[in-house]
Structure 1
């Protein structure tokens, strides 16, 4: 396991000039039509950004590659996290700056970039005078992801056709079946934080940098996107009675206090299995991959631009943590005074 001293230094944030040949690829179906409701195409073109509207039969990677070949200096994606990862990969391969426009359903990547997920069009300002910083990407095999890869229970849950529209309800319905005493444990083999070999986990999450996780269904947030590390979370429940405790911890958003919860960070990670294919969720997209799955961090791989008025997500998290700590201290003082 990598020590905190081995972590990458933060990459400097710098102000950059407006894109000269900015290109935005728009998925009009993502987020139940969020791009259309925000009038993204017209607003982007008003800023001088060329737009490419994705059709159902289009090859997203091919469109992004063509945009790079045609001379784009900034490449953006308006869509969900899976699409963000694919276009970000094209941008990093060509050394282009990337703009994330949160037009998907959950937009976890945008959240950790510090973007306002409720104001989709505001992200277009990153094509103007902006702040640029290098952040990490991560790989499973040769496929890039920006958020996480889930295996075990949530790798199975993502395969459900109902998952995208009703994530929590779908998980609640499937979890008891997957974790019943009659169900075979997941065959997931990996090295734990102490260097010992594990043969199973009910939940296995590999993320691009470490999450602060209190709920499995809601996932969490990342204080950093440039630590050069993979975050690993595993949860193992006792099949004879442990499910109720796990569901209780999940409902109270205290899953990190569940006895079978573990988390650590590494630069590389491997998952083996005797199964021919593993059910996997890559940035929320259902996949089936042949083991072994090899993961690694790509430190500082992507130049990402955000609007100048945005602050990094970690900044606001520190403010919230400071406020919480002050409130806790004040409460303790008041309690001591009331006893005296």
Structure 2
């Protein structure tokens, strides 16, 4: 066995030496100085960090690509330079193998195997490809040139470069363990429906929240241009939106065919509640900062809503529903995204504030979670009659992904299920264990975290009354909550 290993090693050495001789035999050209400069520019990842800064300047896939690329470089550099070079010491190629004009002025003294430059180059480019294939195509020649420059300047054997490239690919894919690649596009909805066509806006009541989204941007003019006969109203200061719209509908029964909303998720949730109560279809106009619900539904712009409303095409989706009983009486609430008890609403608000400052979802969520857990108080409650001690409880309308930390998307909006998650407080060091499991990407197997997909769940608080939050809006003080999924509760105009 050892003899076979030695023979294989000698064969690899001969291949390395032959390729080095072939490279050395290349005629002198301007590429020699260019490759030397390129090789030095990639020292300590400086080239890739500069390119990441350029990619991050534009919001969207390229910014996510830059952040994933930097994370991949971190894994690749540690694997190649801290682990690989110490485990597999190897001499650098002799300087005499190459013409003097090709040699680097300052030759590295660390182990030749593997190539850290190649690992970083391939890690960054592969990670960028996961988020922005177009940007990766532009970067690929640069990465290949950096990798080859290490042989061209005589500081690495070809197999060092190949090993570094393999490490780079592995490091890029390792980022998915902590930062899963998200699905782009709308959630799946099976049931398409024909709705009333609203070509001029006859029978359309639209609520516009001018305080949602970008400051100073009011979508009213665009809405009136698209639906000149629509009725446009605004939130009345100090008044509940559901109450305001319900009264508006009560004054003109039968005249309203659909309700529209231009605002963020909180405004959308309130108007969707009214639409569900009055069994009216919803015209969704994304005008908030993040528009989570609009993205899940698949309505990305006013133009898409206008087209669907003109043709009368739409889909039916599920809504979450909760019956609430407590010191302030009995009531109920609908929710389009999430409902929660404990510190979860605070965490979501902090995460969205960080996302609004262009932080990616995963790091923003991690920071928000840690800050929230530091101030959290445990909640003693019953879930379907069974006692639990929890830090926070989350109920999602539909089944969210990923199943571990930071639920951010829904593959479907008509599953007929709720996504129940909670963090146990009856386990020693549960908060610390939760954070460590989150960072390690092992939360789904952790004893401190529980997740179930359910059709309904009853929650009764055992120690004190608390306020429920639905879609980020705080509700009444109560002690009993019965959550249920309501299949097909809301019709929304959307192209199909």
Query: TM (normalized to structure 1)?
Result: 0.71
CA distance in structure 2 between the aligned counterparts of 1:288 and 1:21, rounded to whole angstroms: 33
1:92-171 → structure 2 map (5 Å cutoff): 92-116=276-300, 119=301, 122-141=304-323, 142-155=332-345, 157=347, 165-166=353-354, 168=365, 169-171=367-369
Higher strand share: 1
Q: Are the equivalent residues in 2 in contact too, given 1:277–1:288 (CA < 8 A)?
A: no
Match of 1:150, SS state, is: strand
- Spell out structure 1 runs of 4+ moving beyond 6 A: none
* Counterparts in 2 of 1:110 and 1:152: CA distance versus 1, 3 Å: same
Shift in Å, 1:44: 0.9
Cα deviation for residue 100 of structure 1 reads 2.1
User: How far apart, in 2, do the equivalents of 1:253 and 1:46 lie?
Assistant: 49
Q: Residue 223 of structure 2 corresponds to which residue in structure 1?
A: 44
Among candidates 400, 412, 425, match of residue 211 of structure 1: 400
**Cross-structure match for 1:68:** 249
**Number of equivalences:** 282
Distance of 2:457 and 2:270 partners within structure 1 = 21
SS in 1 for 2:269: helix
| Runs of 5+ unmatched residues, structure 1 | 1-9, 312-340
Matches of residues 115-264 of structure 1 in structure 2 within 5 Å?
Answer: 115-116=299-300, 119=301, 122-141=304-323, 142-155=332-345, 157=347, 165-166=353-354, 168=365, 169-178=367-376, 185-191=378-384, 197-214=386-403, 216=405, 218-236=406-424, 240-251=428-439, 255-264=443-452
| SS class of match (2:474) | strand
**CA contact under 8 A between 1:214 and 1:220: conserved in structure 2?**
no
In structure 1, distance between residues paired with 2:271 and 2:428: 44
Give the 3-state SS of the residue equivalent to 1:93 in structure 2: helix
CA contact (8 A) 1:43 1:121 kept: no
Quote the offset at 1:214 in angstroms: 4.8
Instruction: Report if aligned partners of 1:74, 1:127 keep a CA contact under 8 Å in 2.
Output: no
Alpha-carbon distance between aligned partners in 1 of 2:333 and 2:280, rounded to the nearest angstrom: 18
Q: Which has the larger radius of gyration?
A: 2
SS at match of 2:380: coil
Partner residue in 2 for 1:338: none
Cα separation, partners in 2 of 1:60 and 1:128, compared to 1, 3 Å: same
Question: Is the partner of 1:199 in helix, strand or coil?
Answer: strand
Q: Which runs of 5+ in 2 are unaligned?
A: 1-188, 324-331, 355-363
The equivalent residue for 1:281 is 469
State how far apart, in whole Å, the 2-side matches of 1:11 and 1:174 are. Answer: 37
Distance (Å, rounded) in 2 between the aligned partners of 1:56 and 1:32:
20
SS of residue matched to 2:379: coil
- Judge conservation of contact 1:40–1:121 (CA < 8 Å) in 2: no
3-state SS of paired residue (1:200)? strand
